[in-house]
């Protein structure tokens, strides 16, 4: 598996490379965003790991460029920026997950494997089961799984593969409170819900995209102490 690593800190870049090589993967490293973009255009990558603060081209801008070319390539941000705003912004731009520095080798490998299990790019999995799904209605939106987008009478918005997974699971269980564990197991491949805000950040992004009033959602509702519920 070929992995693009965009990281300006040489020690972090080396550490990530060693972690990935220990798993038999092929890390291709870049010391800045512009170099990473040049490498990406050469093609053949199965995953991208991006720092945020880089010279030349930030990780946010690099993620945006990659998503304009490839909507399905798994992207992880690995950054010292740990504020909620930074994480939500990264997910809004199309990233699949966000790892905060300092990180442990086991965490990085677990997050990567979880992302790959849900990706059609993964050499370890079959084609994403969502890719051939028919369209479905989620509130006022018509969701197109093959196009990774949703539209209503006046808008068309892009969805990440992870966001699509969450919407599909909610759609298939209208009015039912879905636990965090079940959402993580279906959408991330994790059997237990980690102690993180990853799920909540993805839901926050979906609400900003799909709800008329994200702070007062009508369709993606929070069930305190349990998880989330879809109200058609």
- Looking at the chain, which residues constitute the CATH 3.40.50.2300 domain(s)? 2-117
Does residue 122 have a pLDDT over 50? no
Across the range 147-167, mean pLDDT stands at 89
Choice between 115 and 145, residue whose per-residue pLDDT is larger: 145
Min mean pLDDT across 66-70, 102-106, 172-176, 206-210 is at: 102-106
Query: Phi and psi for 55 in degrees, rounded to 5?
Result: -70, 150
Give residue 155's pLDDT band: very low, low, confident or very high (50, 70, 90): very high
Round the average pLDDT of the chain to a whole number and report it: 86
Both tokens of 185, joined, read 């197991």
- Looking at the chain, which residues constitute the CATH 1.10.10.10 domain(s)? 136-230
Is the C-alpha dihedral spanning 66, 1, 146, 143 positive or negative? Answer: negative
Domain 136-230 belongs to what topology?
A: Arc Repressor Mutant, subunit A (1.10.10)
Residue 68 neighbours by CB distance under 10 Å:
10
CATH 3.60.15.30 fits 2-117, yes or no: no
- Distance CA(14)–CA(122), nearest Å, equals 23
Burial of 205 (0-12, 13-18, 19+ CB in 10 A): buried
Q: Which pTM was predicted?
A: 0.61
Using a pLDDT cut of 70, give the percent of the chain over it: 90
Give residue 124's pLDDT band: very low, low, confident or very high (50, 70, 90): very low
Torsion (CA) 13, 14, 16, 17 in degrees, nearest 10 = 110
Give residue 123's pLDDT band: very low, low, confident or very high (50, 70, 90): very low
Question: Which residues are paired to 177 by β-bridges?
Answer: 229
- Distance CA(89)–CA(46), nearest Å, equals 23
Does residue 150 have a pLDDT over 60? yes
Does residue 48 have a pLDDT over 60? yes
- Distance CA(74)–CA(47), nearest Å, equals 5
Alpha helices in 52-160 (DSSP H): 59-69, 84-92, 105-117
- Distance CA(62)–CA(58), nearest Å, equals 6
148, 71 Cβ separation under 8 angstroms: yes
What does the pLDDT look like over 195-225, one tens digit per residue? 567 888 899 999 999 999 999 999 999 999 9
């Amino acid at each position: 598996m070929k992995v693009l690593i965009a990281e300006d800190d040489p020690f972090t870049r080396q550490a990530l490379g060693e972690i990935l090589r220990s798993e038999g993967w092929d890390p291709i490293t870049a010391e800045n965003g512009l170099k990473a973009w040049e490498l990406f255009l050469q093609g053949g990558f199965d995953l991208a790991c991006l720092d945020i603060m880089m010279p030349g081209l930030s990780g946010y801008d690099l993620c945006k460029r990659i998503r304009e070319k490839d909507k399905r390539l798994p992207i992880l941000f690995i950054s010292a920026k740990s504020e909620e705003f930074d994480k939500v912004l990264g997910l809004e731009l199309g990233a699949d997950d966000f790892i905060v520095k300092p990180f442990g080798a086991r965490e990085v490998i677990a997050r990567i494997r979880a992302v790959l299990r849900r990706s059609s790019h993964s050499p370890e999995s079959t084609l994403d089961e969502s890719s051939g799904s028919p369209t479905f209605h989620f509130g006022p939106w018509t969701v197109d799984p093959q196009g990774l987008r949703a539209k209503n009478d006046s808008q068309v918005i892009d969805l990440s593969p992870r966001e699509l997974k969450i919407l599909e699971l909610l759609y298939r269980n209208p009015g039912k409170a879905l636990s965090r564990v079940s959402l993580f197991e279906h959408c991330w491949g994790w059997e237990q819900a980690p102690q993180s805000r990853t799920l909540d950040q993805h839901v926050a992004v979906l609400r900003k995209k799909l709800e008329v009033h994200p702070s007062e959602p009508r369709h993606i509702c929070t069930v305190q102490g349990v998880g989330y519920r879809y109200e058609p």
